[in-house]
């Protein structure tokens, strides 16, 4: 198969899997991540097939979105094998998709990604900040019945993955302090770091305005 045929098949597979998502991880999100990855690739010498394939597939087996991620990873492996990708290519794509999430960074020994993985990680994280990131945070919080804001509930610190994924005392606004405002400082590539700056400031401005409007006595 040609590169173009492989990427089209991967795109179609990803769209079939993510088209029903209602948490902000749907096909629109996937396509933005892919476009950002392509933009970063213009400045970085990473493998294009691995980078774009991982960008399309990065949420398909995400353990916060599916009940059996291991089964889906096996399905992805078989699918990529049918597209004539090598074992080395498949292993790297699956390593990236399995290890790029923010929750993985909370472990004592966070996984180290290849340059292709860093580009996909940056692209995914850029879509979690700025105006789009604000919208997705609210969308995801609503889908999980989170409280919008409660000043009595303080942002959590030094969480492990299990604590981070526990939404019992989570609020949408606290999610900015627990994750989103940290992402700018966690970008890998120079291109992503530059893009992140204005998006980070946009979130800070939003939070200031939100709290001003919340506290109407001010």
157-209 pLDDT tens trace:
888 888 888 888 889 999 999 999 999 999 999 999 999 999 999 999 999 99
- The mean of the pLDDT values for the chain is 94
218 pLDDT more than 80 = no
63 pLDDT more than 90 = no
Helices then strands, each counted (H, E), the chain: 10, 0
Neighbouring-strand partners of residue 171 = 147
In whole angstroms, what is the distance from residue 122 CA to residue 96 CA?
12
71-82 pLDDT tens trace:
999 999 999 999
Helix (H, G, I), strand (E, B) or coil at 60: coil
**Alpha carbon distances (Å) from 79 to 9, 18, 127, 167, 188:** 9, 16, 27, 33, 29
Helix (H, G, I), strand (E, B) or coil at 42: coil
Tokens (6 digits) for 155? 């942002």
Tokens (6 digits) for 130? 């700025």
- Mean pLDDT over residues 104-109, rounded? 88
For residue 123, with 0-12 CB atoms within 10 Å meaning exposed, 13-18 middle and 19 or more buried, which class applies?
Answer: buried
Q: What percentage of residues in the chain have a pLDDT greater than 70?
A: 99
Q: Which residue has the tokens 């096996």?
A: 74
Neighbouring-strand partners of residue 89 = none
- Mean pLDDT over residues 113-124, rounded? 98
pLDDT given for residue 217 in this prediction: 67
CATH of span 3-214:
1.10.3210.50
Q: Could you tell me the residue ranges of all domains in the chain?
A: 3-214
């Amino acid at each position: 198969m040609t590169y173009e045929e492989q990427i089209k098949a991967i795109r179609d597979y990803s769209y079939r899997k993510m088209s029903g998502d209602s948490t902000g991880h749907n096909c629109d999100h996937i396509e933005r991540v892919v476009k950002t990855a392509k933009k970063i690739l213009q400045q970085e010498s990473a493998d294009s097939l691995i980078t774009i394939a991982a960008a399309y597939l990065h949420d398909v087996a995400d353990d916060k979105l599916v009940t059996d991620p291991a089964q889906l990873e096996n399905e992805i492996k078989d699918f990529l094998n049918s597209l004539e990708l090598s074992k080395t290519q498949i292993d790297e794509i699956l390593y990236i998709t399995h290890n790029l999430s923010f929750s993985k960074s909370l472990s004592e020994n966070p996984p180290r990604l290849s340059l292709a993985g860093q580009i996909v990680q940056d692209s995914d994280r850029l879509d979690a900040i700025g105006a789009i990131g604000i919208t997705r945070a609210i969308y995801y919080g609503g889908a999980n019945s989170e409280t919008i804001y409660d000043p009595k509930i303080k942002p959590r610190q030094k969480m492990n993955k299990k604590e981070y994924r526990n939404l019992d005392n989570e609020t949408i606004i606290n999610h900015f302090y627990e994750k989103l405002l940290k992402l700018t400082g966690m970008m890998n590539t120079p291109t992503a770091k530059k893009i992140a700056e204005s998006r980070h400031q946009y979130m800070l401005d939003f939070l200031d305005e939100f709290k001003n409007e919340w506290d109407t006595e001010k």
